[in-house]
Amino acid sequence: MSDVLLEQIKQVIVDGQAHHFKNASKRTLEISVIPGKATICIGVRRCGKSTYMDHIMQNLIKDGIDRKNILHLDFFDDRLHALHHNDLDLVIKAYFSLYPNKKNSEKIYCFFDEIQEIKNWELFINRIMRTEDCQIYITGSSAKMLSKEIATAMRGRALSWEMFPYSFLEFLTAREIMYDSPTTKNKLLAANEFNEFMEIGGFPEVTNLTRQLRIKTHQEYFNTLIFRDLIERHDIANPKSVIDLAHFLIENIASKHSINRMHGYLQALQHKVSKNTIGQYLAWFEDAYFLFQVFIYDASIKRAQANDKKIYCIDHSLVRSIASGILVNSGHLLENVIFTALRNITEKIYYYRTTKSKEVDFIVLLANGAKMLVQVCESMREQKTYDREITALTEAMQELKLQTSIIVTKSEEKLLGVGSGEIRVMTAWQFMLELEYLKEP
């Protein structure tokens, strides 16, 4: 069996070296490669991780690295389905049986896609980094690759970077649109492109597809993610309950949810799952970079856990393609857009409730220690809406001792003086472009 598997691995390696590199649009993510440390890029399926690795391989070749010195394996390749942790040494054996003269004489650049499919992969990577002259690049679709357990097993020999679907700036770049100054023409162009972004979303593959093909592609993403990253990866005994919960949350995106509510919904569908199991499902959704929970801002972890959580999706257009459209409204989609833009710069995102029970959509803890209050509202033209949003932000600013806050709208811009501070009302596209300068290093 091992001889057959060895030959299969050799064939996959040779095929990988004949791989035609994809022409990728420039991403804003800048990965720093440190000698002696594995570079790990993680994110949801189809967000562009492998294409980004293609770009790194191309640059290596441009810098004079022999293509035969690049070992590229995709662990989703069906020819590797029989590969287990105990067989991983066959990867190195297969490579050096192809190129024996490179052993102990030349640096090897290893690119491993979706390696989390192999249990205890980190032990193998740690070992070859100690025993071989190599630089390791890894992609994966599991947030566990950021975990303390992985860091411990790797003995500090890895740095992880998150990749998300296109930000608005990356969307503009992919469509060959340069926004370099806030001229009237550029602002009109950006506003028009943001309407396109709201419709198309951030997954690179769907940027230039027709609406029908985009929906079909999104639905394929959803099905693959649910079955490969949840049901198969975690060996879930009741797959239909996971699918039904995912649809329920998608239909009610950007809304507050409780375990009790979700449990009641699944019970009504005759699913016999415990509340603890539902909590596990939510953790797995987040691990796969599919759905995210936002907790209330509270110094007490226990109180934060006890309160309802808000749920957001990795991509608002994916929501459009999966949801029936009966419950999802454009205001919630805009809020989801702003969440993903914020998540692109930090994971420290909460919602805020004032002492008078007024709510602010987001309080964000930035890398420099500052707090940012963000309210999302499609339009403030109605007086009732205007009063509600301003009152909530004003109370939150006073309680948190902040001088500024932001209201993100679809098309309105103004500066409002409140008490001793100010509220900046700005368009979503402008807010998203400005966020690019706040990304954590």
**Average pLDDT for residues 95-124, to the nearest whole number?**
94
pTM exceeds cut of 0.85 = yes
Give me the numbers of helices (H) and strands (E) for the chain, helices first please: 16, 14
Which structural domains are found in the chain, ordered by start? Answer: 2-163 (3.40.50.300), 166-203 (no CATH), 209-325 (1.10.10), 329-441 (3.40.91.50)
**Distance (Å, whole) CA 383 – CA 338:** 23
pLDDT tens, position by position, 319-378: 999 998 765 789 999 999 999 999 999 999 999 999 999 999 999 999 889 999 999 999
Amino acid at 273: V
For residue 211, what are its two tokens?
Answer: 């609406």
Which of 22-31, 97-106, 221-230, 273-282 is the least confident region?
A: 22-31
Q: How confident is the model at residue 26 (pLDDT cuts 50, 70, 90)?
A: confident
Starting at the earlier edge strand, list the strands of the sheet with 134-140.
70-74, 108-113, 134-140, 38-42, 158-162
**Is the predicted pLDDT of residue 441 greater than 60, yes or no?**
no
Longest CA–CA separation in the chain, Å: 76
Least confident of 81-85, 310-314, 322-326, 358-362: 322-326
| Position 300 confidence tier, pLDDT thresholds 50, 70, 90 | very high
Q: CA angle 388-392-394, nearest 5°?
A: 115
Kindly report the average pLDDT of the chain as a whole number.
Answer: 93
More confident residue, 440 or 129: 129
pLDDT at 424 over 60: yes
Q: Which of 142-146, 180-184, 379-383 has the highest mean pLDDT?
A: 379-383
Per cent of the chain over pLDDT 70 is: 98
β-partners of residue 123 are none
Q: What pLDDT digit, counting tens, does each position of 370-408 carry?
A: 999 999 999 999 999 999 999 999 999 999 999 999 999
